[in-house]
Each structure stands twice: as C-alpha cells, then as structure tokens.
C-alpha cells in the first residue's frame, strides 16, 4: 500500500532509518525521529531488511522482509 503524502526527498533516504532523523516539511508531525530507527532495529534483529520507495509529491511505500525458517525441533526426550 502506498500513501499519498509529500514523499521523501532523495537526499534524505540514506539516513531515513537513523536515530533522530526527521524529514521536515510544512505540516509535518512533531517527533524525536526514533520511530523508523526502532523499526529498523526490530527488523534487522530478526534477520530482515527494511526500506522505502518514495516519489516527491506522490507518496511513499515502506516495506520490510523477514526470513522464513522452519521451527526448531525439540531436543527434549520424554
């Protein structure tokens, strides 16, 4: 799903998922710039990747991937 917001300037994309990074524009919500950094930490902690595709004045799509692994087999012998 794609939003229809302002989009993200290309020069902001390399640091978008860094702590305390915010994209500023008129009407932007206030915040500390930690939300996307926390998302990246969680996704990468599970072996995944996170990213964004964005076009100025058209919107953005955020995406993430997580690896699929077979559940561990039980080592308990009853």
**All structural domains of the chain with their residue ranges:** 10-65
The pLDDT confidence band at residue 26, using thresholds 50, 70 and 90, is: confident
> Can you tell me the mean pLDDT for 30-36?
89
> Can you tell me the mean pLDDT for 32-55?
94
Distance of CA 2 to the CA centre of its chain: 14
The number of residues making up the chain comes to: 78
Topology adopted by domain 10-65: Heat Shock Protein 90 (3.30.565)
Candidates 17, 15, 12; CA nearest to 35 is: 17
Angle of CA points 31, 44, 72, to nearest 5°? 135
Q: Is the pLDDT of residue 35 over 70?
A: yes
Residue 74: predicted pLDDT: 62
Mean pLDDT of the chain: 87
> Can you tell me the mean pLDDT for 44-62?
93
Which helix (DSSP H) or strand (DSSP E) does residue 62 occupy? strand 59-65
């Amino acid at each position: 799903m794609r939003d229809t917001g302002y989009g993200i300037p290309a020069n902001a994309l390399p640091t978008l998922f860094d702590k305390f990074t915010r994209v500023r524009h008129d009407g932007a919500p206030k915040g500390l710039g930690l939300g996307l950094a926390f998302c990246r930490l969680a996704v990468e902690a599970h072996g995944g990747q996170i990213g964004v595709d964005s076009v100025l004045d058209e919107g953005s799509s955020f995406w993430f991937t997580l690896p699929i692994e077979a559940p561990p087999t039980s080592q308990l012998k009853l």
